Structure 1
Amino acid sequence: MAGCWRDRMLAGLLLGLACIIPARAQAPPEQSARRIAITIDDLPWVSFEGLDEAQLEARHRRLMAALDAAAVPVAGFVNGDKLESGGRVLPERLRMLVDWLDRGHELGNHTYGHVDLHAVGLEAYRQAILDGERELRPLLAETGTAPRWFRHPYLRAGRSADDRAALQAFLDAHGYRIAPVTIDNSDWIWALAYRRVLDAAPEPGREDTLARLREAYVPYMLAKVEYYERQSRELLGREIAQVWLLHANELNAEAFPALVAGVQARGYRVVALEEAMQDPAYARGAEGYDGRSGPSWLHRWAIGEGKGREFFAGEPETPAWVLALAGVEAE
């Protein structure tokens, strides 16, 4: 049933987008050069709570099938603690990472424990990075590679220039480059809502609610893409090669091919993270923001330039009905 739904959704999305961009060749010149790297956090899976190994395997396989259908490069970021249970590394979870590597996708470090730099401090954070590569580094060594990308959990990158410089020096010494995010979103809220409905006891209207979530999710995500396109043009006078944040969850396992089709219809070429990072905009690093949150790199740079509240206006929000299903009060 899920495969049939994906086919119908993808066909409908492409038909609708064709009304806006009749053919890729007819895309405006500024769109034809668009590039986007897709990154997926919290591997091997966002949450194992309530899942037995058979259920986890089935959901993982669905995500792998979605990646195969989209046929684009992806960089995944691993939480080392999620490879373990009760202090023991689980071979079946390591095999989930092997599935990513067998498809040619790249894997990066997302710390052991998905820790918050602003909460634990630099010393503990550095240790969490090292612990996060205990299984990842030898796994990549089997392919002749090593971890080279690091993604901050919660996108919290340091509350001072000194902290960011100290972390950068540590990452440099261990062969890492920071993987920024320019297109941020609340896919985790949508996915939490989807998971709660999916795993609840069957009741009247359940399938309709799941379908409503699936059908509203892709337009929300593409509206976020459009918003950050505007942010890039207004801040830098051009559109940079974007880096899009997603997570390894049940909803993206259903929607990923349609998400890719949506950005491709907007004139994007989906590229490897390495290619996106060649854009000179990223030489700025994570400068500009010393607060407690973790904003998009575009917003970090805008804050550093002193942009006023009006610059940030218009960002699409998660609808109240989705927040309610997720049990979340606000984004």
Structure 2
Amino acid sequence: MTSRFFALLLLAIAGVGHAAGIDRRIAVTIDDLPWARLDEIQPADLQARHQALLGQLKQANVPVVGFVNENKLEVDGVVQPQRVQMLRDWLDAGYALGNHTWSHMDLNAEGVEAFQQDFLRGERVLRPLLAERGQVPTWMRHPYLRAGRTAEDRARMDVFLAEHGYRIAPVTVDNGEWVWAFAYANVLNEQADTPAREALLRQLRRGYVPYMLNKLDYYEAQSVALLGYALPQVWLMHANELNAATFAELVAATQRRGYRFVSLDEAMQDAAYARGTTGYDGRYGPSWLHRWAMAEKQPKTFYAGEPEVPAWVKTLAKVNYE
């Protein structure tokens, strides 16, 4: 029997709450602020959807760090005050903001020098915006979770980020949330407002929450199998229409699983995060748990069983991968 089998067995014995003493904690991070796929939305719709997401966040009442792509603040190279106000709305609501690079640049594809330039360009608005409140940028998130293809590149980035006062925000609960969100936005934007469209949107909302919970269960089992305990997890999501409709429901369902939502800073205090980005030299961006598993030379069977986005959702999303 595999270590994953024993991890699942332990979780089954523990049940879904705190009865067995498992300390389930999770931090939420939301990428691609002020909005994912922003240029595909009419300005009036953008504002309404932005307000809907903030309403869901307020209802959920949990700590959140949002990660900004500053190119989304611009139209034809000019920063738009209305879009900067969207970031102020996040700060007014008490959420933290971090740097997700200017252009959502792929470090593994573009290299360290280009990435560092793009990263610094990505704080031209963010740094003074935070300074208005006596804050400085602290968190960064790698686009696509791609953190460097060699140990040398990762070490150079560690030095660069430390010099500029940043900490890497890892992701342990990776998922295909963006695929569900593409599907939801495509239906919302491309189909006529009919009962059939609403039924399809409802089907996506109802499928999304169980999918995300299944991913959470999977990565909790991976944590137990690899580390021997339930790591305080870091969850990846995006600023999109689907979360603007379901975030509070997802949080409530996660809390019923026995999880406490904590700040990213609290989650990162766990000693496992000192392992950093080690373990993976490929072109993609896996979960930090899987990076660490690769560093330990775990067999391929260790990674088996990860929940997948259903084919019908990929079809609606117009993608064939996740």
- What is the rounded CA distance, in whole Å, between the counterparts of 1:264 and 1:320 in structure 2? 28
Deviations 1:199-258 (Å, cap 9, x if unpaired)? Answer: 113156211111100000000000000000000000000111100000000001111001
Q: Secondary structure at the match of 1:49?
A: helix
Deviations 1:274-294 (Å, cap 9, x if unpaired)? Answer: 111000000000000001110
- What is the rounded CA distance, in whole Å, between the counterparts of 1:262 and 1:240 in structure 2? 19
- Alignment of 1:131 onto 2:110: no
Q: For 2:157, which of 167, 174, 178 is the aligned residue? A: 167
Q: Secondary structure at the match of 1:281?
A: helix
Contact 2:109 2:283 survives alignment (8 Å)? no
Q: Which residue number corresponds to residue 201 of structure 2?
A: 210
Q: Secondary structure at the match of 1:143?
A: coil
Scaled by the length of structure 1, what TM-score is found?
0.91
Residue type at the aligned position of 1:113: S
Q: For 1:90, which of 75, 80, 103 is the aligned residue? A: 80
Q: Which residue number corresponds to residue 28 of structure 2?
A: 38
- What is the rounded CA distance, in whole Å, between the counterparts of 2:195 and 2:205 in structure 1? 18
Q: Which residue number corresponds to residue 73 of structure 1?
A: 63
Residue type at the aligned position of 2:242: L
- Alignment of 1:287 onto 2:290: no
- What is the rounded CA distance, in whole Å, between the counterparts of 2:227 and 2:40 in structure 1? 45
Q: For 2:261, which of 267, 270, 289 is the aligned residue? A: 270
Q: For 2:223, which of 217, 229, 232 is the aligned residue? A: 232
Q: Which residue number corresponds to residue 309 of structure 2?
A: 318
Q: Which runs of 4+ in 1 moved over 6 A?
A: none
Q: Secondary structure at the match of 1:82?
A: helix
Residue type at the aligned position of 1:297: W
Q: Secondary structure at the match of 1:101?
A: helix
- What is the rounded CA distance, in whole Å, between the counterparts of 1:155 and 1:196 in structure 2? 24
Q: Which residue number corresponds to residue 13 of structure 1?
A: none
Q: For 2:95, which of 96, 102, 105 is the aligned residue? A: 105
Residue type at the aligned position of 2:163: A
Deviations 1:179-210 (Å, cap 9, x if unpaired)? Answer: 00000001110000000000113156211111
Report the Cα offset of residue 49 of structure 1: 2.8
Residue type at the aligned position of 1:230: A
Aligned length: 307
Which segments of 5 or more consecutive residues in structure 2 lack a partner in the other structure?
1-14
- What is the rounded CA distance, in whole Å, between the counterparts of 1:325 and 1:110 in structure 2? 27
- What is the rounded CA distance, in whole Å, between the counterparts of 2:191 and 2:235 in structure 1? 33
Q: Percent identity?
A: 59
Residue type at the aligned position of 1:150: M
Q: Which residue number corresponds to residue 12 of structure 1?
A: none
- Alignment of 1:260 onto 2:251: yes
- What is the rounded CA distance, in whole Å, between the counterparts of 1:115 and 1:231 in structure 2? 29
- What is the rounded CA distance, in whole Å, between the counterparts of 1:288 and 1:240 in structure 2? 18
Q: Secondary structure at the match of 1:37?
A: strand
- Alignment of 1:301 onto 2:292: yes
